[in-house]
């Protein structure tokens, strides 16, 4: 997160669409790993059923590209 978030912000300020998509994908993946780790530590405390049903790392690039109107 300490590497991804600054790069995400810089890409946003510089309006670098490719870099922005890349960083959003990396951020989404890191968030998923963090949530999975918390779930493994304490499943009752960090129940993630809705998140894991929604989660699709393979489709994240298409999702972000649609949001940025990139083809």
- In order of 6, 51, 54, the CA distances from 40 in angstroms are 28, 14, 18
Condensed to tens digits (0 to 9), the pLDDT of residues 36-48 reads 888 889 888 877 7
What is the reported pLDDT for 14? 92
**How many residues appear in the chain?**
71
Q: Are 11 and 19 in contact (CB under 8 A)?
A: yes
- Residue 69 gets the label, from left (phi > 0), alpha (psi -120 to 50) or beta, of left
Residues of the chain with pLDDT under 50: none
């Amino acid at each position: 997160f300490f590497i991804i978030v600054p790069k995400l912000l810089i890409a946003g300020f510089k309006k670098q669409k490719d870099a922005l998509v890349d960083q959003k994908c990396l951020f989404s993946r890191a968030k998923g790993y963090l949530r999975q780790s918390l779930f493994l530590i304490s499943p009752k405390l960090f129940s993630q059923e809705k998140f894991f049903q929604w989660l699709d790392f393979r489709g994240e690039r298409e999702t972000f590209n649609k949001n940025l109107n990139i083809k």
